[in-house]
Amino acid sequence: MREALFIKQNTQRWKDYEDSKSKTPDELAESFITITDDLAYAKTFYPQSNTTKYLNGLAATFHQSIYKNKKEKSNRFIHFWRYELPLIFYKHRRPLLYSFLFFIVFSLMGALSAKYDNTFVRLIMGDGYVNMTNENIAKGDPFGVYKQEGPFLMFVMIALNNIKVELIIFVMGIFLSVGSIYQLMANGVMMGSFQYYFFSKGLGFKSIMVIWLHGTLEISAIIIAGGAGLILGNSILFPKTHTRMVSLRNGAKDGLKIAIGIIPIFLTAAFFEGFVTRHTEMAVWQSLAILISSLVFIIWYVILYPANLNRKLNRNNPIINETAY
């Protein structure tokens, strides 16, 4: 059967499936079986067509509806961080990668600007911060800024500020992703110039051992928040087979789940900054243990575990391929 005839014969039924908002579990199961039959036929005869992609997405929608109506044995919060959030990371791995690349490029721009312009660090960080740090360096305590407030108050202030920054980065994605890219630029340039400043003072290694105790998780979460903003913006720019409004709704939902899901990472980073980073006399092996453990966790939870989870899911549900997620 030609693809055009196949579409003509089934378009109305597919549209009815899409428009039907309330179905009993039995009706959902029956519709799911019918759609997967159509999908199997399309995969056989039109494997690269948009029809196959459309049916794949429709089948995924029914699969998720059926799964949502099943009684969950595990706690909903555990399920979210164990399954739902990692699968969203995998689904949107490209925007997350782009966010990482943007941040790296902007950080290098900040470092190079600080290297070739002696006034750049003051322009970015402010005279007050630079003067205070210079005084701390002269006193032999270059990272004394982390000891100015009590640990609990510092933890609360940093956590609130970082979550606010994260939400701004995400929400700014509504401006066709440009807003989130601008926020990544602002944070990346600041980080690059900040880090170069300590290297220029001969404190490069020490700054890594102190600042990146909390910075590994904090910067990683900011990059992920940038990815969430790109998801939001790209849902408007590239709706694919959906209407722009449906695409925006889906992008906003996934982006918001990411923004909420990484709040514990910000809280952990704030805890380290408030309670741990102040101990600048910490042994190198202790600093490395925290830093490397944080980096390994981010790589595992955001990249490796989602990919492995997706492979397992595809083995269990071979009819629903990667484009469905």
The secondary structure of 29-91 as a DSSP string is: HHHHHHHHHHHHHHHHH-TTSHHHHHHHHHHHHHHHHHHHTSPPSS-HHHHIIIIIHHHHHHH
Poorest-confidence range of 42-51, 77-86, 134-143, 162-171? Answer: 42-51
Higher-confidence residue of 269 and 3: namely 269
Report which of 182, 145, 177 is spatially closest to residue 165, judged by C-alpha positions.
182
pLDDT category at 320 given cuts 50, 70, 90 is very low
Residue 279: which region, alpha, beta or left (left: phi > 0; alpha: psi -120 to 50)?
Answer: beta
Cα dihedral 257, 259, 260, 261 in deg (nearest 10) = 80
Kindly list the domain boundaries of the chain, sorted by start residue. 3-71, 80-314
Report which of 93, 66, 48, 87 is spatially closest to residue 311, judged by C-alpha positions.
87
Residue 26 has pLDDT above 80, yes or no: no
What's the confidence (pLDDT) of residue 74? 52
What is the end-to-end Cα distance of the chain in Å, rounded? 29
Poorest-confidence range of 26-35, 70-79, 226-235, 300-309? Answer: 70-79
Cβ–Cβ under 8 Å, residues 103 and 229: no
The per-residue pLDDT for range 225-258, each reduced to its tens digit, is 999 999 999 999 999 888 899 999 999 999 999 9
Cβ–Cβ under 8 Å, residues 322 and 314: yes
Helices (H), 139-203: 151-171, 178-200
pLDDT category at 12 given cuts 50, 70, 90 is confident
What's the confidence (pLDDT) of residue 205? 94
The span from the CA of 214 to the CA of 234, in Å, is 30
Q: H-helix or E-strand containing 111? A: helix 93-116
Residue labelled with tokens 């989130």:
180
Higher-confidence residue of 241 and 311: namely 311
Q: What is the mean pLDDT of residues 299-313?
A: 93
Q: What is the mean pLDDT of the chain?
A: 88
Residue 19 has pLDDT above 90, yes or no: no
Q: Which residues contact 141 (CB under 8 A, 6 or more apart)?
A: 147, 280
pLDDT category at 68 given cuts 50, 70, 90 is low
pLDDT category at 35 given cuts 50, 70, 90 is confident
The span from the CA of 281 to the CA of 189, in Å, is 28
Q: What is the mean pLDDT of residues 67-91?
A: 78
The per-residue pLDDT for range 171-226, each reduced to its tens digit, is 999 999 999 999 999 999 999 999 999 999 999 999 999 999 999 999 999 999 99
The per-residue pLDDT for range 251-297, each reduced to its tens digit, is 999 999 999 999 999 999 999 999 999 998 899 999 999 999 999 99
What's the confidence (pLDDT) of residue 5? 78
